[in-house]
Amino acid sequence: MKMGCLTLLLLFFFTLIHLVIPTAAQYCYDTGNYTSNSTYRANLNTLLSSMYSNTEIDYGFYNFSAGESPNKVNAIVLCRGDVSTDVCRTCINESSSTLLQSCPNQMEAIIWAEKCVLRYSHRSIFNMLDTDPLLGYYNIGDVPDVGAFNKVLRPLLDSLRNSTASGNSTHKFALQSVPVPNFETIYALLECTPDLSRLDCNNCLSQVQVFIPRCCNGKQGGRFVTPSCDIRYEIYSFYDPAAEPPPPPLVPSAASPPPELPTTTQGI
Ligand SMILES: *[C@@H]1O[C@H](CO)[C@@H](O)[C@H](O)[C@H]1NC(C)=O
Ligand SMILES: *[C@@H]1O[C@H](CO)[C@@H](O)[C@H](O)[C@H]1NC(C)=O
Ligand SMILES: *[C@@H]1O[C@H](CO)[C@@H](O)[C@H](O)[C@H]1NC(C)=O
Ligand SMILES: *[C@@H]1O[C@H](CO)[C@@H](O)[C@H](O)[C@H]1NC(C)=O
Ligand SMILES: *[C@@H]1O[C@H](CO)[C@@H](O)[C@H](O)[C@H]1NC(C)=O
Ligand SMILES: *[C@@H]1O[C@H](CO)[C@@H](O)[C@H](O)[C@H]1NC(C)=O
């Protein structure tokens, strides 16, 4: 199974396609191993529990280090922008355990859980754009009208990419929903680790976005992840609807007629 995944990874330019969207995806880097009684593992344990118990940082992005080189461990956690601090901490706790089980010896590993991303490494990972690996997962359901769907999806992702990249040093996150005519509503969420510059965030999301039509054109949903940024869209609301920005205000002008109400032609 593991070999299969690695082979696929090479064939797809470090991109792995799965048919269903998993609740969590993990990736163990092959950049170095530690032993179970090593100083590195002790530092890693210290770091993960300090992240979990930290209550000072409450904006969902954590970058911490523990130990001294060559056993220094760096870690980053990014919680999804619509989740509470409690949900964030629970996600960190569960993801830490899952990741240590999945990658029991690797010095560098990452997990994309539903509500948080956790990554640790012996290398420096702060303030750095990293799009390798780029993993994609899609919902196997097809949309009835691909053209109409893409006509809504593409501008939505373009607009959210701009909003995400325009965020500040603690939040680079945006979500929104837009209805597709005669179909469902698309719900989309984009995020970058906020330590990235605006340019790097935009660059990261662009790389992911370019990939979407190549693998998943006409699919009802997808999740595309890299260490620095990720994109998800679905035809159901997978995030807290209260986090949505208000719709743009209608500005009626004296010269234009009032907006028409939709008319029903049924039942004549
Ligand atoms: C790390 O361990 C795995 C087996 O668990 C092995 O396949 C891999 O080659 C090792 N990597 C390094 C860099 O030693
Ligand atoms: C624990 O570490 C010692 C040296 O620090 C080493 O000799 C021993 O093999 C290690 N044991 C395990 C189980 O990794
Ligand atoms: C996760 O939470 C459990 C109890 O809920 C606790 O025992 C454990 O130490 C926590 N894990 C970490 C990494 O802090
Ligand atoms: C990008 O976002 C910024 C800040 O939210 C906004 O001022 C600008 O108009 C947007 N640009 C485009 C092309 O949407
Ligand atoms: C960053 O943006 C978020 C969301 O817009 C806001 O709540 C927060 O106060 C901002 N932080 C800084 C340091 O500007
Ligand atoms: C963590 O990130 C903050 C804000 O981006 C930065 O000021 C701080 O230096 C970083 N910490 C480390 C250990 O690099």
Q: What is the CATH number of the domain that holds 65?
A: 3.30.430.20
197 lines ligand 4 (CB under 6 A): no
In terms of domains, do 203 and 168 share one? yes
Tell me, in angstroms, the distance from the centre of ligand 1 to residue 27's CA: 14
Proximal ligand: closest to the CA of 106: 1
Say if 257 falls within a structural domain: no
Tell me, in angstroms, the distance from the centre of ligand 5 to residue 72's CA: 30
CA 12 from chain centre, in angstroms, equals 20
Contact (CB, 8 A) for 111 and 93 = no
How many percent of the chain have pLDDT more than 90? Answer: 69
Q: Which domain holds residue 34?
A: 23-121
162 lines ligand 4 (CB under 6 A): yes
Say if 178 falls within a structural domain: yes
Atom of ligand 3 nearest to the CA of 97: 13
Please give the mean pLDDT across all residues of the chain. Answer: 85
127 lines ligand 5 (CB under 6 A): no
Contact (CB, 8 A) for 111 and 120 = no
Tell me, in angstroms, the distance from the centre of ligand 1 to residue 36's CA: 14
What pLDDT score was predicted for residue 11? Answer: 33
Q: Helix (H, G, I), strand (E, B), or coil: what is residue 264?
A: coil
User: 230: burial class by Cβ within 10 Å (0-12, 13-18, 19+)?
Assistant: buried
Residue-wise pLDDT tens digits, 141-152 = 899 999 999 999
What whole-number distance in Å separates Cα of residue 53 and Cα of residue 50? 5
Mean pLDDT of 158-184: 96
Number of structural domains in the chain: 2
